[in-house]
């Protein structure tokens, strides 16, 4: 799991991880956490496509590179 | 078959992803662009490409400017960059039946995708490509077969790169960090983790510090986050493990980086493999999957941490006791990992590992009230 702190006030944390339910088992997801008085809470989750290979945080935008394996005849 | 997907997450407004043909191999950000390396199996051969993606749009959406065909593959993010208005890639080509390392440059502006220059590091033919790093107009490349070859490539004119110097030394470097006229490297030599300091003005090895004995290994060999240089403190922290007949050492080595020398400063030992370390003010802080340790790097002479916070632990059995839980870590009967743990107070005499009993309230099993190691109590609250 990768982590980023997108805002300079240290109040937020972005985690790149995997979804943990039967709906999208082991699928990549981004989790935005807010930390208030030491207590983390989940603000939102963004489902991601494919298997994450790398990422870059530029400003407040996170660029996530992944590989999406396509099922096609003969492949 | 696969395709590379570049997704942009503006946390308030995610943009549409950009898809590229092939399997992604590397991502790098430079000079307002993203560089994405891909590999694609096509017509019976592997085709490596490098994609130049502009980030100038107001919504941050990635805009594919152009794609370059490469001679060889881009194996990690340190192999690509933008130098003096040119995209530069250090690539590894196997197509001739042996390894070839190439430095390839392409124009950033315009629509032309033809290379500005392609230069093989002939001295690296047949060698495995290891660490690379761009530093201003210089490129450092490390290859290895029998000895570590350090190549210094001058990119002052990206259309005419030239080899400015080489240096051959035992071992190989997996991570390098430019420090102006010095180069700091972490790698392997004679089966042990080694930290090296080079002079790159007239390429030479200035200082080398092996981390313990043969059999040591560092996560830094595959993940650069496991090594961190703190220039203000003049310290590099390297995480490593050392397997010896006396046992296993899991530690963070704090090494002072002088102009010409490397000096061992402190060794912070963990019970579990350390993963990351930092210098914060006067303290070394390191973390493993089980604990966080804080060592006073100014006043501490014992090597024992001032602060030790347990973050996670193994529980093999749980014994309910009224409002409390006794959590037992004794190996759970699994002896595949070594001698079994023993519950008696002199377990070390039997060559077994120490067992640990931890007490928590039944209402909050994660909040430790006390723990015993080999019968000795250590109250934490």
**In terms of DSSP H, where are the helices of chain B?**
none
Q: List b or e across B331-361, with b for residues whose CB sees 16 or more CB atoms inside 10 angstroms.
A: beeeeeeeebbbeeeebeeeebbbbbbbbbe
Which of B29-38, B51-60, B265-274 has the least mean pLDDT? B51-60
The confidence band for B177, taking pLDDT boundaries of 50, 70 and 90, is very high
Retrieve residue B100's tokens: 């070839």
- pLDDT: which is higher, B337 or B182: B182
User: Cβ contacts of residue A8 below 8 Å, gap of 6+?
Assistant: none
Interatomic CA distance for residues B362 and B325, integer angstroms: 5
Query: Are the CB atoms for B193 and B267 separated by under 8 Å?
Result: no
Beta carbons of B27 and A56 less than 8 Å apart: yes
- The SS3 call for residue B332 is helix
Minimal Cβ distance to B4: which of A56, A59, A65? A65
For residue B175, the surrounding DSSP H or E stretch is strand B172-179
Q: For chain B, positions 46-75, list CB contacts with chain A under 8 A.
A: 55, 60, 62
Beta carbons of B5 and A54 less than 8 Å apart: no
Answer whether residue B342 shows pLDDT above 60: no
Annotated domain spans of chain B: 1-169, 178-312, 317-379
Query: Are the CB atoms for B136 and B146 separated by under 8 Å?
Result: no
Instruction: Please provide residue B59's backbone torsions phi and psi, each rounded to the nearest 5 degrees.
Output: -90, 5
Interatomic CA distance for residues B180 and B54, integer angstroms: 29
Minimal Cβ distance to B8: which of A44, A61, A75? A61
Answer whether residue A52 shows pLDDT above 80: yes
Beta carbons of A63 and B24 less than 8 Å apart: no
Superfamily per CATH, domain B1-169: YVTN repeat-like/Quinoprotein amine dehydrogenase (2.130.10.10)
Give the per-residue pLDDT at B376.
42
Mean pLDDT over B224-237 rounds to 94
The separation between CA A73 and the C-alpha centre of its own chain, rounded to angstroms, equals 31
To test the contact with chain A by mutation, choose from B11, B37, B278 the residue with the greatest count of A C-beta atoms within 10 A, namely B11
Interatomic CA distance for residues B18 and B6, integer angstroms: 5
Q: Residue A70 CB: number of other CB atoms within 10 A?
A: 10
Q: Which of B155, B154, B198 is nearest to B173 (CA)?
A: B198
Q: A62 and chain B: CB distance < 8 Å anywhere?
A: yes
Give the per-residue pLDDT at B333.
57
Instruction: State the sign of the Cα–Cα–Cα–Cα dihedral A3, B268, B231, B296.
Output: positive
Give the per-residue pLDDT at B41.
85
The confidence band for B279, taking pLDDT boundaries of 50, 70 and 90, is very high
Interatomic CA distance for residues B33 and B21, integer angstroms: 19
Interatomic CA distance for residues B69 and B91, integer angstroms: 11
B178-312 has CATH 1.10.10.10 classification:
no
Q: A68 and chain B: CB distance < 8 Å anywhere?
A: yes
Instruction: Please provide residue A41's backbone torsions phi and psi, each rounded to the nearest 5 degrees.
Output: -135, 150
The confidence band for A73, taking pLDDT boundaries of 50, 70 and 90, is low
Annotated domain spans of chain A: 2-64
- Per the document, the length of chain B is 381
Minimal Cβ distance to A75: which of B1, B25, B27? B1
Instruction: State the sign of the Cα–Cα–Cα–Cα dihedral B266, B272, B275, B280.
Output: negative
- Give whichever of A39-43, B70-74, B201-205 has the largest mean pLDDT: B70-74
Longest CA pairwise span in chain A (Å): 55
């Amino acid at each position: 799991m990768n982590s980023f702190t997108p805002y300079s006030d240290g109040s937020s944390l972005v985690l790149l991880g995997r979804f943990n339910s039967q709906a999208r088992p082991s699928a990549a997801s981004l989790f935005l956490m807010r930390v208030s008085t030491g207590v983390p809470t989940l603000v939102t989750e963004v489902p991601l496509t494919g298997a994450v290979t790398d990422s870059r945080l530029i400003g407040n935008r996170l660029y996530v590179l992944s590989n999406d394996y396509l099922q096609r005849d003969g492949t | 078959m696969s395709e590379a997907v570049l997704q942009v997450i503006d946390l308030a407004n995610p943009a549409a992803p950009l898809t590229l043909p092939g399997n992604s191999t590397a991502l790098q950000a430079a000079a307002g662009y993203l560089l994405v390396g891909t590999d694609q199996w096509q017509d019976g051969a592997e085709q490596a490409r490098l994609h130049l993606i502009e980030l100038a749009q107001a919504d941050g959406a990635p805009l594919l400017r152009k794609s370059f065909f490469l001679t060889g593959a881009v194996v990690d993010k340190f192999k690509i960059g933008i130098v003096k208005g040119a995209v530069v890639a250090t690539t590894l080509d196997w197509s001739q039946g042996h390894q070839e390392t190439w430095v390839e440059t392409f124009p950033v502006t315009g629509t032309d995708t033809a290379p500005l220059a392609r230069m093989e590091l002939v001295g690296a033919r047949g060698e495995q490509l290891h660490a690379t790093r761009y530093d201003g107009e210089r490129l450092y490349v490390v290859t290895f077969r029998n000895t570590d070859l350090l190549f210094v490539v001058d990119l002052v004119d990206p259309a005419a790169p030239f080899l400015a110097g080489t240096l051959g030394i035992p071992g190989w470097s997996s991570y390098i960090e430019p420090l102006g006229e010095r180069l700091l490297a972490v790698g392997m030599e004679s089966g042990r983790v080694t930290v090296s300091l080079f002079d790159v003005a007239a390429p030479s090895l200035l200082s080398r510090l092996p981390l313990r004995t043969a059999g040591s290994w560092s996560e830094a060999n595959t993940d650069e986050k496991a090594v961190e240089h703190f220039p203000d403190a003049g310290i590099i922290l390297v995480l490593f493990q050392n397997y010896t007949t006396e046992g296993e050492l899991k530690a963070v080595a704090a090494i002072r980086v002088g102009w010409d020398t490397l000096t061992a400063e402190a060794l912070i030992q963990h019970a579990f493999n350390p993963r990351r370390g930092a210098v914060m003010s006067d303290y070394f802080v390191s973390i493993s999957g089980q604990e966080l340790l804080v060592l006073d790097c100014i006043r501490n002479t014992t090597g024992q941490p001032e602060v030790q916070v347990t973050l996670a632990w193994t529980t093999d059995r749980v014994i309910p006791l009224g409002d409390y839980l006794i959590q037992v870590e004794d190996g759970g009967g699994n002896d595949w990992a070594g001698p079994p743990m023993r519950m008696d107070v002199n377990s070390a005499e039997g060559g077994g590992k120490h067992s640990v009993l931890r007490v928590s309230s039944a209402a909050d099993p994660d909040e430790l009230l006390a723990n015993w190691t080999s019968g000795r109590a250590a109250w934490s609250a």
